[in-house]
Amino acid sequence: MLAVITVVAVATFFTRALPFVLFKSAEPPELLSVIEKKLPPMILLLLVLYCLKDTQWFQFPYGVPELFTIIVIIVLHVWKRNAMLSIFAGTCLYMLLVQYDVFSNIFL
């Protein structure tokens, strides 16, 4: 067990220290800057698509809680520009909508 912990600790240290060693005297390559700027939104888009993949659009409740939550998250993020607030508020709102079946009276 100690050997495994040591190997993991050394590997973690080297992966954290490697960028400082490689780029201490020069600017990072342009490709790395592009990836740094474009990757987070692409990952979030994939996460949203993954979360919506099992939504039943043609069965009750027709994806209304998901769509309502997405709209609220977009408005909240444009208004406050705080990703953590958007994520936590969206998660809480969606859980409340689903657990308390808020949209059941609309379609019945």
Reported as a single tens digit per residue, the pLDDT across 54-64 is 998 898 888 89
Residue 73 lies in a domain: yes
Number of domains, the chain: 2
d(CA 85, CA 70): 13
What is the pTM for the complete model shown? Answer: 0.65
Asked whether residue 102 falls in the same domain as residue 66, the answer is yes
Residue 46 lies in a domain: no
Domain coverage including residue 101: 55-108
Reported as a single tens digit per residue, the pLDDT across 71-107 is 999 999 899 988 889 889 999 999 999 899 888 766 6
Asked whether residue 29 falls in the same domain as residue 65, the answer is no
Residue 102 lies in a domain: yes
- Integer CA distances (angstroms), 80 to 3, 86, 99, in order: 47, 8, 27
